[in-house]
Structure 1
């Protein structure tokens, strides 16, 4: 096995140095050029990167090779993903940045979540008291929050970086100008959004060349985005939040540039230049739990990822998952997820505007009071009623509620970077739905997000407070879960994934598969997935229900729905005891991910 991995890594290193060469070769050969090779696992020294995309991973490796650190490389990867994965993330959206500092041993986070306009209130997505249809809300100016990613880039580089913004944006500028090779996954995502993309001239011109989704093997260029990146590099991100770019963003939101002949109804939003001028990414204390003697750090609210993953781990701590059979392991994983989501939906929102009992949600006392609901021989009835982390304890009797399941878009993207000194970054970025709001800012080359549809349009549980209703300058709740695991104060794992609310369950499943079941990281990522989010049916991949354990799970009461295909597109890093890094990504989901190291082993 070691020899095979070594050969794969050597090939990966051979292809990732000259990004421009990859792009120009694709252009010269057109649709007939063979696709560049992705590898899902790489082992070595000098730094490591994993993401969903080969070009983006290459961008990070290039920065590391030139002496940049993990933060420098993470910004480079994220900017490149804005070129090659524009439907999942980009400077028209936001993200969460989790950083480990090898010199101090400190874990820090930046909340780069988008914010609602200052004029927003609880009626944001209501029309005469009734909820606006969800699809209509998505493709509208109403759904666009103030983008947070550019400010996150700036604040991360100021806090931990060693390179200037213009330097780390260079690979993405070149990639946008020279173009990237369209793969089947990109074409499929474009085709799924063809009708609404066609309604916006700037979006149609960029992503529907000749009026059709681009052909697999063709080269897609984005010179407008290259110019936008150069503007940010030359003038700083204030050019995005205060100058002409800000005015273009606001104009797009307030007067959506819809094709006059389009039948699509696109509502205007009320984002203003003052909203952009006042935006800041917030440095927050990370969430922290102890699990199997390890320290697990995640993203605090406004994300629900760190609290829900942490609470579920605390519940699972009471069972030695390495010793139970596979069916019991999966049963307890699904039930802990179910209970965690009940509490997440009731308590987590923007901590600047609602009282989020983060400490209580992460306490072992609260986890124990909730874990006792989980029975080895039956599933809990759904939806499970939320507990109260402010007053844990009492009788251990399951109760149900009439809560609705909140909606959350399924597409985001994640990256992991480690450098030669041991700094690590786990970074999840998003524009929400595939293609966000569908609106490209004319002349700027990036899609605007639809993050505000992550708010509850109306209270999800009648008669109870909802912490996630819209409000002025409020951050909508997220499920993004960039996660770092430390062993004795040293980095061990970095994990994250896209997938909307399934992000939480995917990260939890990858962590338990690696830490409890002993799977290699790349295999833990490749495992068939299921996602239980306090609903009557558990969403599952067909490969999951094909497992022999499914019969036993169904006997316990689990009901599976396989109608929505793949769940997530995870990636991660692991530091081995000898100091080498394992970079790992998906083997098949989304066409496979991309892992690379600076100096390969073997």
Structure 2
């Protein structure tokens, strides 16, 4: 399939006639609808137990549900319920996914939202085809390759210089145009209402705010919204974002051109070029290069997925600019050469570590934006290349890390030859949602604004944070690195939305946040479910470890529960573990790897929607028709 490009250049500069009295009246009318009683088929008031329904406390949200007719899994109860209502009202998986994602932008503003980007994978049950939308952010056209020189990573994280051109709204529009049955205006209505009425602050939201208090306080607009009266919102209080409700209302009324070509674009460019920082020496907030023309020129890419076969199943993922599909695929191809079983869990986990270490060596050496680098996608996904890499793995002993990247021309058991590539600085805070509808269509969608809180900059009067995705480029760059900063380029990502088919029908939908640990989280969940005999809820909840070709032969980062359960099993293989996070790690992410949301569809149509029971405060999996 050739790449299909979605452009946003029609009516990009509106005249004063655009703001007629009729348009203003329509905007005011929709605002009244959002603040008043439900007038849409997809208002969250229709969701039983919604915490924003007047005077009605939310019951505990289930992390796992089982049933028929459609399923949604995400990290947030409100978002999952909104997606479920779309399915109940006849919408398909694409409609529900966009509605869920919009709600996550309200309740998970530090992880996602219209100021970021992501990757959307769609399975069409009628045609049997899997298609993807690359909505990754891009570097501005005027950004020089030397833009990061002289700045530390910590200085760049909270700055205009780290902001990429957002792709989330363009992704939603393309997904609905290509696969959906409803309009963007319709699917935004629940989120407009949610932002207007507010949601209950939980411990995760408060802790994430406190973790970012120092840098949020540097930006007055962010401090006013997220640190009212100088403190993070209290647990149990209601958090409302009226500016975001107004922004979404404008987009619902006037379309995505309002964002990519109207006054919102001007506001984004203005704050990027002149961050409204308070002169902090810790967070100097260097200015960025984005202009309104960069937003007007933004394009999403519709392209073929990655594909490998694993244990007779077809595994589809996201092709570059994401490294998720190639690295998950290569890891599984390597594991295909070994027998794994719960009877010898120590060796199975040892092989999992070695497979992902070798796949990460190849990822770092070869994967970047294919528009700027010659990415050997087909080689990385080939079983022949994986066989050569598997030859380098000792089934009984851990290799010294980091291992070198593989020789792309190798056949059989030839030695690796490439150099070791630098490690990543990819942020941990992203979000993922999985959806399956009654017809068997499925969506795996991972979206982000990068680090928790993104750049820390809220667009004035608009209510959303901007991403800091450009820090995903290699900060120190050699001539062979495919992930060097270049104008117009998409930085390499680890987001890994994954759909697994069995005989042409959807079997698993899975993904997670977690920066570079996303890849290992997806591989481990599939390993747990397919090879180690766990149910899907068990596979999601099980403790995790993430071997990403660690430098200096360091121990593999792992959750404390994983160390307690498996350290003794792994020791004979010279696999040693260290607790992820540590005592100085920020709040809710300390000690955690990922926050997955997954769905399984049994051959008889029974659906299991499984989200995290504990990580990141717990997620919510829901189904249209619960089973007895």
TM-score (norm 2): 0.89
Offset of 1:518 from its aligned partner? 2.0
Q: Provide Cα deviations, 1:370-409, integer angstroms capped at 9, x if missing partner.
A: 01111122111111111133x1226544679554322111
Distance 1:243 1:379, change over 3 A: same
Match of 1:479 in 2: 494
User: Could you say what secondary structure the match of 1:481 adopts?
Assistant: coil
2:462 to 438, 441, 444: 444
Question: Is the Cα–Cα contact under 8 Å of residues 20 and 178 in structure 1 kept in the other structure?
Answer: no
**1:331 is matched with which residue?**
350
Q: Is the 8 A contact 1:303 1:479 kept in 2?
A: yes
Q: Structure 1 residues 107 and 403, CA, compared in 2 at 3 Å: closer, same or farther?
A: closer
Superposition map of 1:247-396 within 5 A: 247-259=266-278, 264-322=283-341, 325-389=344-408, 391-393=409-411, 395-396=413-414
Deviation of residue 580 (structure 1)? 1.7
The question of 1:213 aligning with 2:241 is answered no
Q: 1:106 is matched with which residue?
A: 129
Helix, strand or coil for the counterpart of 2:361? helix
**Per-residue deviation at 1:470?**
0.5
Write the mapping of 1:150-299 to structure 2, written as runs, cut at 5 A. 150-259=169-278, 264-299=283-318
CA offsets 1:278-316 (integer angstroms, 9 cap, x no match): 111100110000111110000000000000000010000
Q: Which runs of 4+ in 1 moved over 6 A?
A: none
Please state if 1:599 is matched with 2:625: yes
- Residues 578 and 263 of structure 1: is their aligned pair in 2 closer, same or farther, counting only changes over 3 Å? closer
Deviation at 1:584, TM superposition (A): 0.5
What is the CA RMSD across the aligned residues, in angstroms?
1.8
* Equivalent position of 1:82 in the other structure: 105
Give the conservation status (yes or no) of the 8 Å contact 1:242–1:277.
yes
Whether 1:562 and 2:579 are equivalent positions in the alignment is yes
Unmatched segments (≥5 aa) in structure 2: 1-42, 582-590
Alignment deviations for residues 64-118 of structure 1 (CA, whole Å, 9 cap, x no partner): 1111111010000000000000000110000100000011111000000000001
Instruction: Say which SS state the counterpart of residue 432 (structure 2) adopts.
Output: strand
Q: Residue 16 of structure 1: CA displacement?
A: 7.7
Say whether residues 1:551 and 2:577 are aligned partners.
Answer: no
CA–CA distance in structure 2, aligned partners of residues 218 and 533 of structure 1: 40
Q: Which moved more, 1:306-315 or 1:532-541?
A: 532-541
User: How many angstroms apart in 2 are the aligned matches of 1:21 and 1:35?
Assistant: 5
The structural deviation recorded for 1:323 is: 6.6
Describe the shift of the 1:557–1:74 C-alpha distance in structure 2 as closer, same or farther (beyond 3 A): same
Query: Residue 559 of structure 1: CA displacement?
Result: 2.5
- Residue 470 of structure 1 corresponds to 485
Q: Give me the whole-angstrom Cα distance separating, in 1, the residues matched to 2:421 and 2:496.
A: 23
- On the 8 A contact 2:406/2:418 being kept in 1, the answer is no
* 1:8-19 alignment runs, 5 A limit: 18-19=46-47
Distance, in Å, in 2 between the alignment partners of 1:502 and 1:600 is: 32
Q: Distance in 1 between matches of 2:420 and 2:445?
A: 35
Correspondence for 1:12: none
User: Which runs of no fewer than 5 residues in structure 1 stay unpaired?
Assistant: 1-14
Displacement of 1:259 in angstroms is 3.2
Residue 510 of structure 2 aligns with which residue?
495
Structure 1, residues 574-595: CA drift from partner, whole Å, max 9, x if none? 1012112111001111111101
Q: How far, CA to CA, are the matches of 2:414 and 2:574 in structure 1? A: 20
Residue equivalent to 1:507: 522
Q: 1:305 to 1:261 in 2, by over 3 A?
A: closer
Aligned partner of 1:94 in structure 2 is 117
Other structure's SS at 2:624 match: strand
Secondary structure at 1:551's aligned position in 2? helix
Specify whether residues 261 and 403 from structure 1 end up closer, same or farther in structure 2 by C-alpha distance, changes over 3 A only: closer
Alpha-carbon spacing, 1:35–1:133, altered in 2? closer, same or farther (3 Å): farther
> Which residue in the other structure is 2:443 paired with?
425
Q: Does the 8 Å contact 2:45/2:52 carry over to 1? A: no
Give SS of 2:50's match. helix
Separation of aligned partners in 2, 1:338 and 1:263: 35
- Segment of structure 1 superposing worse, 166-175 or 117-126: 117-126
d(CA) in 2 for partners of 1:357, 1:414: 27
In the other structure, the counterpart of 2:78 is 55
Q: Which whole-Å CA distance do the structure 1 matches of 2:333 and 2:416 have between them?
A: 18
The number of aligned residues is: 574
CA distance in 2, matches of 1:89, 1:380: 37
**8 Å contact 1:289–1:297 — kept in the other structure?**
yes
Cα distance between partner residues in 2 of 1:263 and 1:553: 42
Q: Contact conserved, 2:139 with 2:165, CA < 8 A, in 1?
A: yes
1:11 — aligned with what? none
Contact 1:253 1:268 (8 Å CA) reproduced: yes
- Mapped to 1, the partners of 2:413 and 2:96 lie a distance apart of 50
Deviation at 1:61, TM superposition (A): 0.7
1:458-515: CA deviation from partner (whole Å, max 9, x where unpaired): 22xx6x6000001010000000000000000000000000000000000000011111
2:91 is aligned to 68
1:546 aligned counterpart, secondary structure: helix
Q: Deviation per CA, 1:540-591, whole angstroms, max 9, x where unpaired?
A: 00000001x3123233222322141000000100101211211100111111
The aligned counterpart of 1:7 is none
TM-score calculated relative to the size of structure 1: 0.93
Give the direction of change, closer, same or farther, for the CA distance of 1:245–1:480 in structure 2 (3 Å limit).
same
CA distance in 2, matches of 1:577, 1:559: 40
Of 540, 543, 546, 1:531 maps to 546
Report if aligned partners of 2:580, 2:592 keep a CA contact under 8 Å in 1. Answer: no
Q: Is the 8 A contact 1:52 1:594 kept in 2?
A: yes
| Secondary structure of the corresponding residue to residue 230 of structure 1 | helix
Is the counterpart of residue 406 in structure 1 residue 424 in structure 2?
A: yes
